[in-house]
Amino acid sequence: MQSTQTFKKYKPYPLVPLAHREWASNIITQAPIWVSTDLRDGNQALVAPMNATKKLAYFQKLVEMGFKEIEIAYPSASQMDFDFCRMLIEQNLIPEDVRVAVLMPSIEKHIKRTFEAMKGAKKVTMHLYNPTADNQRKIVFDKSKAEIIALAVEGTRIIKEEAAKFKGDVMFQYSPESFSQTELEFARDVVNAVISEWMPTKNAPMVINLPNTLEACTPNIYADRIEWMSKQMLERDAVILSVHPHNDRGTAVASAEMAILAGAQRVEGTLLGNGERAGNVDLVTMAFNLYSQGIDPMLDIYNIDTILQEIITLTHSTIPPRHPYVGSMIYTAFSGTHQDAIKKGMEFQKVALDGYWHVPYLIIDPKDIKRDYRDVVRINSQSGKSGVAYVLKEFYGIETTKSMQIEIATEVQRLCDEKGIEVNAEEIFKVFRQMCKL
Ligand SMILES: CC(=O)SCCNC(=O)CCNC(=O)[C@H](O)C(C)(C)COP(=O)(O)OP(=O)(O)OC[C@H]1O[C@@H](n2cnc3c(N)ncnc32)[C@H](O)[C@@H]1OP(=O)(O)O
Ligand SMILES: CC(C)C(=O)C(=O)O
């Protein structure tokens, strides 16, 4: 093995001084406020960002799924983004119950341009961000902590001034971008300075969004940070605490879930986790995680295969076969003992009286998302007699005795070994016919 010390250039992530940690004893009992950022954060990561026609088709899918808050653009970034906002507003394409969100930097001309883009919108979230992490302050902005706070407060002040003239309902959102690498005390100071400038009330709350911009710590530490911030924030009752997890360490879903345990009320993410680098948090997986715990996900995920087919066409992406809940292989077992348990579980499920799902190895009932029970078992050299019996029953309605199953499975196994790949139902039926001399 090559000897290398390069790992030493990475600093370990600091622990959080949390005296009485509460989140670890909590459970999730309801869906958070979902915010899709597919059309902004998701879109900015595509090789070919969507044009207005594609964005509109995507927007309509998000509405169909039941999203009530959708980040649609960074309007001051490009004419395309600006025009997309105008199109939605002027053609009255935003349903009454949907709030659209737009992102802007703390730069006066950008803020004014953003308000111009949103003129006529009935419900809008004006989302201000500026990076706050040490490396951003020093390297990118060459600003002191006090200057970074001043930048955030000045942006807030300008938005407040513009919002006072705006006809629609404005929700203000602030993100200390790169929160995940910002010293906690400083993140608190920036956020509290912004809250003090905006002065939200219980009846007119604002959003504080704490992004895991570059996911750099384990989900438990992110949760500690969220709980710490939640306890240190001014006007907590007038703040909707939001999170925006990214997936750099591959743990965005866990981070988001633990953040909810720690007090987050709102989650920003994308369908299938599209987004910068390793992506944003995957809201489809999050919604199904709630669903599989008996919690209403508050999103229409029942036609998810149809919706996602349209989404991946728009973004030129694919769904990995092992993607949780929605991959093509998620409800399929090849291995014999799993197939045996599934077969027995399916039989038990037919007579179960308690209304709950009991089938081993299937996280949810595939029928809930209109998948076919036939695909639950596929046969290769790892399969056994129960699997073969399952296929004969599902595809041909053939009941087999245990001794027949052993005989057929032995021959099917020989065939699989010979072919080195799975055998299909037709081939299994052929073996059955030969054995039974039909
Ligand atoms: C984590 C996120 O996803 S944040 C969103 C990221 N999305 C995007 O960047 C897409 C939209 N961005 C853009 O269109 C452009 O970057 C713009 C219009 C914002 C700025 O464009 P330009 O003026 O050409 O500068 P550039 O793209 O190089 O951006 C860097 C400048 O913005 C400043 N800046 C970056 N973020 C912010 C912010 N939130 N508030 C204020 N200034 C900012 C940087 O300090 C730098 O300023 P400098 O030129 O004085 O050094
Ligand atoms: C602007 C913020 C919310 C962002 O996109 C991020 O931090 O990833």
CA of 91 to the centre of ligand 2 (A): 29
- 268, 280 contact by CB (below 8 A): yes
Dihedral (C-alpha) 49, 53, 58, 63: value to the nearest 10 degrees? 140
User: Strands, DSSP E only, in 253-337?
Assistant: 266-269
Structural domain boundaries in the chain: 12-315, 336-436
Give the pLDDT of residue 4.
86
Give the pLDDT of residue 438.
79
pTM: 0.96
Residue 1 has pLDDT above 80, yes or no: no
Residue 348: both structure tokens together: 């038990």
CA of 398 to the centre of ligand 2 (A): 56
What does the alpha-carbon distance between residue 230 and residue 240 come to, in Å, rounded to a whole number?
Answer: 10
Tens-digit pLDDT profile for residues 84-98: 999 999 999 999 999
Q: Mean pLDDT over all residues of the chain?
A: 97
Q: Is the CB of 273 inside a 6 Å radius of any atom of ligand 2?
A: no
Give the pLDDT of residue 64.
97
Residue 97: both structure tokens together: 């119950």
Could you give the 3-state DSSP secondary structure of residue 130?
strand
Residue 302 has pLDDT above 90, yes or no: yes
Give the pLDDT of residue 5.
92
User: What DSSP element (H or E) covers 81?
Assistant: helix 79-90
Give the other-Cβ count within 10 Å of 47's Cβ: 7
What does the alpha-carbon distance between residue 186 and residue 191 come to, in Å, rounded to a whole number?
Answer: 9
Domain 12-315, architecture per CATH: Alpha-Beta Barrel (3.20)
Tens-digit pLDDT profile for residues 148-191: 999 999 999 999 999 999 999 999 999 999 999 999 999 999 99
Could you give the 3-state DSSP secondary structure of residue 36?
strand
Give the other-Cβ count within 10 Å of 115's Cβ: 24
- For residues 195-214, one letter each, b for 16 or more C-beta atoms within 10 angstroms of the residue's C-beta and e for the rest, the string is bebbebeeeebbbbbbbbbb
* Pocket probe mutation, ligand 2, options 35, 76, 244, 268, max atoms within 8 Å of Cβ: 244
User: Strands, DSSP E only, in 65-116?
Assistant: 69-73, 99-105
Q: Is the CB of 186 inside a 6 Å radius of any atom of ligand 1?
A: no
- The number of the ligand 1 atom at minimal distance from the alpha carbon of 78 is 14
CA of 211 to the centre of ligand 2 (A): 6
Give the pLDDT of residue 2.
67
Q: Is the CB of 363 inside a 6 Å radius of any atom of ligand 1?
A: no
What does the alpha-carbon distance between residue 155 and residue 109 come to, in Å, rounded to a whole number?
Answer: 11
Tens-digit pLDDT profile for residues 100-159: 999 999 999 999 999 999 999 999 999 999 999 999 999 999 999 999 999 999 999 999
Q: Which ligand is nearest to the CA of 266?
A: 2
- 414, 371 contact by CB (below 8 A): no
What does the alpha-carbon distance between residue 237 and residue 14 come to, in Å, rounded to a whole number?
Answer: 29
- 369, 301 contact by CB (below 8 A): yes
Residue 295 has pLDDT above 90, yes or no: yes
Tens-digit pLDDT profile for residues 57-72: 999 999 999 999 999 9
Return the axis-axis angle of helices 385-396 and 425-436, rounded to nearest 10°: 100
What does the alpha-carbon distance between residue 253 and residue 259 come to, in Å, rounded to a whole number?
Answer: 10
CA of 3 to the centre of ligand 2 (A): 37
ipTM value: 0.95
Residue 229 has pLDDT above 80, yes or no: yes
Tens-digit pLDDT profile for residues 374-418: 999 999 999 999 999 999 999 999 999 999 999 999 999 999 999
